[in-house]
Structure 1
Amino acid sequence: MYNFYYCKKALAVLIPAIVAILTPAKAVSQEVNTDTLMKHIIELSSERYEGRQAGTYGYNAAVKYCVEVLRSYGVEPAGEDGGWLQEFDVECNEIDNCTFHTYLPGAKNHDTYSLGRDFSCAAMTGRGYADANVVFCGYGLDASAYDDYANVDARGKVVIVASGVPNFLPSDITDRYATLRDKARVAKSHGAVALVSINMSKTCSDIEVQCRGYNGKLPHLATFPIIQPTRYCAESLFRGEEMPLDEAIAKIQETHKPQSFAFNKKFEIETNAKYRASAKTYNVVGIMHGASKKVKQEYIVIGAHLDHVGRQGETCFYPGADDDASSVAALLETARLLSELPVEKRPARSVVFVIFSGSEQLDKGTYEFIDHFRYQGRIEAFLSIDCIGSGDSIDVRGNARYPNLWGVACHNDSLYTNAMGRAKKTIKVYATEEELAERAKQKKLEEKEAAKDPKKMKALKKQKPTGNEKFSEQVVEGFQTMPSGDALAFQPLEIPSLVFTTFNGKQHQHTTNDIPENINRTMLTKATSLVYHTLCDLTRGYYRGRTYESKLQVYGPLIDD
């Protein structure tokens, strides 16, 4: 039973797409079908779903699509009141448009920046208009130990800051300024009329706009615009000002002192956004009942999140192909493969399929599911799929807490995919004499080359020691990982969980370039295959999660044989 309304026009568009994807092949195959996976991804990341922002029409239409696919594979509804859905509320901010111009007072010409190319709005920006002078306030902190606002007057002005926090301050200070809403509240408390936060995140390139669904805790600043230019755009914004952004940030890190200053330019910003504090959204919950009378009341839960970060106006669209249409596609393909098993090979345990909403808002949908699932005490394991359409190898997280469950995935990787990577991290070690000699040689070559160009020589002389000259980076393999993301909600109940993702993936996370064309089809197929075979193993009833993983402890680093 559906709790929301779908217009006839949307159905007319959806039904042909669903029928095309679900048309059965002539022969049943127990191999993952890459083309089917890609058809789901292309469909879910298309503009008809408007970026699948939780609480919007586009997300609800994507829910409809997923329900119809699961139904076609024989999955039965297991949500509220015997239906498919599990309803809850989320914050929802639909951004209709935003404009951004800069100009020098008295000048006739304005520089115009494009939404979706040069900047994006914060997901929870307020609506409003500002045409004002500008002050740069470093990282936007006003702590007693470090105050970016101490020597500037922000009243009636637009405040421009760098995202993130300085690394020389303790977390008990910086935690209060970590999110966009934190920075916006501080700016507003100093009299500012808007916030421009340069996106310094290394999870995207300098030229990509990026948007994250979670901007920090309430309250919502309903009439306070917040925009996020790219680092490339920042070069233009800071051109002709007291110093470039990179130089200002470097001085802050070097001196541990604010480098705030007033701009010569003025900024003109206008945002139009419709905010709802409590918008209805839905998890999809389905079940494939087990074939064994003995263990059919035991459940293996497999989940992926459907929601993404939506769209902003007509020019800023976030498709979310890898994040997380790839994982929803894998879940749907797993349902297809299970449905086509011969009767004698059908799962003994029951499989619960959950497509989560609210994951872009601190995994809210996962907590809603686990809080309201009637048989949570009978869940033997949870498999979470997260962004498997990129990267160079499969990353299965959770070996630190659930080594036996992780072993099931490793066993199936050795049988079917051979694609699991080793958990890696980079540490600092003292450089060898050979490395130091090579660096000295390289530095002399750079100085010799720079001597031919005064600008290069000037830049080289400006370079200051970073403190890392005596160190090298070393990659350590085999360290332990804990379940993350959607799996966190299952941890208080001690439900063994794994997260299937990839190493070196998410190159376009939360950007407009997360498109189907950037999906790694080979990695997508192998990861889906590993999820499916691991799930099949668990449904046979041999793995007893609450028995095997009863001694919860963190094991030491894995050692290669």
Structure 2
Amino acid sequence: MTLPSPINGKSIMIKKYFISVFFITINLFSSLTVAQSCPIKSSELLKTVSYLSSPELQGRMPGHVGYETASNFIADEFEKMNLKTYMKDGYKQKLFVEYNEIKRPAVFNIITREGSRTEYKLGDDFVLRGFTGSGKFKADVVFAGYGISQPDKGYDDYAGIDVKGKVVLVFKYNPSWKIGEVSFDNGNPREKTQVAKDHGAIGVLMVSFPNDKNPQAPIGSLINGKGEQLLDMPQIHIDLPLADNLFEGSGTTLKMMQSAIDTEKRPHSLALLNKVEVEVKAEYKKEAETWNIAGIIEGSDPVLKNEYIILGAHLDHVGGQGDGEIYFPGANDNASGSAAVLGIARTLSKLENKPKRSIIIVLFASEELGLNGSTFFANNLNIPKENIKSMFNMDCVGYGDSIQVGGGIDNKEMWDLAKSIDDKNDRLMTSNTWKGGGADAEPFYRNGIKTLYFVTTNSYAHLHKLSDKVETLNPKLFEAITRLTYRTLYEAANI
């Protein structure tokens, strides 16, 4: 056996070094090339949004067959991609949520003191709160300001007025001002309704602030607040012209009343002269079965595949009312995010060279109810929390004019990666970011997992409205933010 000379041995070492550098460079170049050559197209994204926001799915409210159909669609797509199941028995992670189905009829009429009746239309003039109770009556109306009864804090809209057997008209939100250093709690619909019921009222009308620069129109919403469901208390969000009609003959207006209350920081409650005729029917379930849908794209590296990045979006929206008389399509919120996540998963699943780290793809239930799905997922992880390197959330990514990525203060490395990728491509990402999670990223952030939140700017013009339809979306921006998320995710999974 002939031993190599020192010179020959050194040459071999140098050769091995350059070969190693060569292959590292090739792998890095390959990774960057895969990330850059992104085949995601807006046409496919919009096709998915069109289905998810269609009348067939009726606004995708968890507990309704429309959400079940949407979740089955996602699970079927995961199976087609051959994603690894997240749960032992499949892609669905079961949880239970409150559910309220609003049936026909949905009636709201105003009857003047002279006896004339004006009928109003569900969707155009009023909407029912998602957790409205049922009721049928003709009753007097009392304006009760902010609907607050907290005499211990020096404020009570119900002091000195009789609302027994009547309907109260209240501002939808609590005031922004305080009395001294004291602010008010119990500002959610269920809480305001409980206060009204405690004073003898039989229903609640909610109205937006007339003095706002752009007063909020009636919207679909499932946010309800603490407490038990009030089965016999209709909750109706009426448009401002209807409130003006109720004030006719009173000698004042809703705008004047808001100004007086806000200026003086004291109640100006008032019995109105016109009556309302209401009929609402709702069927409530305290616990309805629903699901998060989750699958795994397993990493290619034998060691790093045990580390994960989560890519998620909420699949749900706020449903429909009146047995399908109206439904809220939720194209931007959040069929867009769901379609983007699905599009990214399809792209990743077709790659010959999968990312080194594993990627969990998840569509959450019940964001609209209060982050129920993402909270359940984050609190019931099937993998060690410390193995999760980051969570990427996509919410409302189809409408607007530029891109924001939240979470950049706490997750600066990932945010900088996204910004550098955008600078080389579409250059649509603003420098605005924030601390923490937000929306479905929030439960992960609270559990110590770093997050990024991908969202478009000026995204909420149609939020929770009947007009949130696929034709309002911005295809170029939708494609750009989806590609940015894909490229950031792919590179992050290979760092």
TM-score after normalising by structure 1: 0.78
Q: Which amino acid aligns with 1:238?
A: F
Cα shift readout 1:456-476 (whole Å, capped 9, x = no counterpart): xxxxxxxxxxxxxxxxxxxxx
Distance in 2 of aligned mates of 1:515 and 1:143: 41
* Deviation of the 1:99 alpha carbon: 0.5
Q: Does 1:258 pair with 2:258? A: no
Q: Tell me, yes or no, if the aligned pair for 1:176 and 1:182 is still in contact at 8 Å.
A: no
Q: Which amino acid aligns with 2:463?
A: Q
Q: Tell me, yes or no, if the aligned pair for 1:204 and 1:508 is still in contact at 8 Å.
A: no
1:299 is matched with 308
Q: Does 1:500 pair with 2:474? A: no
Q: 1:332 aligns with which of 342, 355, 360?
A: 342
Q: Which amino acid aligns with 1:520?
A: N
Q: Which amino acid aligns with 2:232?
A: T
Q: 1:67 aligns with which of 50, 61, 75?
A: 75
Total equivalences in the alignment:
454
Q: Which amino acid aligns with 1:168?
A: W
Distance in 1 of aligned mates of 2:40 and 2:210: 35
* Deviation of the 1:289 alpha carbon: 0.8
Which secondary structure does the structure 2 equivalent of 1:114 belong to? coil
Q: Does 1:312 pair with 2:321? A: yes
Q: Tell me, yes or no, if the aligned pair for 1:242 and 1:261 is still in contact at 8 Å.
A: no
Q: 2:43 aligns with which of 30, 35, 42?
A: 35
Q: Which amino acid aligns with 1:46?
A: S
Cα shift readout 1:352-371 (whole Å, capped 9, x = no counterpart): 10100011121111121122
Q: Which amino acid aligns with 2:470?
A: P
* Deviation of the 1:207 alpha carbon: 7.8
State the identity %.
33
Q: Using a 3 Å threshold, how does the CA distance of structure 1 residues 278 and 246 change in structure 2: closer, same or farther? A: same
Which secondary structure does the structure 1 equivalent of 2:295 belong to? strand
Mapping of 1:370-519 within 5 angstroms? Answer: 370-375=378-383, 376-423=385-432, 480-519=434-473
1:553 is matched with none
Cα shift readout 1:388-408 (whole Å, capped 9, x = no counterpart): 111211110011211112111
Distance in 2 of aligned mates of 1:521 and 1:537: 24
Q: Which amino acid aligns with 1:412?
A: I
Distance in 1 of aligned mates of 2:79 and 2:181: 49
Q: Tell me, yes or no, if the aligned pair for 1:44 and 1:325 is still in contact at 8 Å.
A: yes
Q: Which runs of 5+ in 2 are unaligned?
A: 1-36
Q: Does 1:99 pair with 2:107? A: yes
* Deviation of the 1:520 alpha carbon: 1.4
1:50 is matched with 58
Distance in 1 of aligned mates of 2:434 and 2:178: 28
Q: Which amino acid aligns with 2:176?
A: N
Distance in 2 of aligned mates of 1:284 and 1:504: 29
Q: Which amino acid aligns with 1:364?
A: N
Mapping of 1:179-218 within 5 angstroms? Answer: 179-200=188-209, 208-218=217-227
Which secondary structure does the structure 2 equivalent of 1:286 belong to? strand
Distance in 2 of aligned mates of 1:46 and 1:95: 19
Q: Which runs of 5+ in 1 are unaligned?
A: 1-28, 424-478, 543-561
* Deviation of the 1:252 alpha carbon: 0.9
Q: 1:369 aligns with which of 356, 377, 380?
A: 377
Cα shift readout 1:248-303 (whole Å, capped 9, x = no counterpart): 10111112221111111011111100100000000001111111112111111100
Distance in 2 of aligned mates of 1:407 and 1:373: 27
- Structural RMSD (CA): 2.0
Cα shift readout 1:306-348 (whole Å, capped 9, x = no counterpart): 011000013321000000000000001101211232x2x3211
Distance in 1 of aligned mates of 2:219 and 2:449: 34
TM-score after normalising by structure 2: 0.88
Q: Does 1:89 pair with 2:91? A: no
Q: Tell me, yes or no, if the aligned pair for 2:63 and 2:289 is still in contact at 8 Å.
A: yes
1:525 is matched with 479
Distance in 2 of aligned mates of 1:130 and 1:69: 48
* Deviation of the 1:170 alpha carbon: 5.3
Q: Using a 3 Å threshold, how does the CA distance of structure 1 residues 157 and 421 change in structure 2: closer, same or farther? A: same
Distance in 2 of aligned mates of 1:167 and 1:214: 19
Distance in 2 of aligned mates of 1:302 and 1:171: 45
Cα shift readout 1:144-164 (whole Å, capped 9, x = no counterpart): 211111121111111001111
Q: 2:239 aligns with which of 230, 247, 268?
A: 230
Q: Using a 3 Å threshold, how does the CA distance of structure 1 residues 279 and 194 change in structure 2: closer, same or farther? A: same
Q: Using a 3 Å threshold, how does the CA distance of structure 1 residues 281 and 173 change in structure 2: closer, same or farther? A: farther
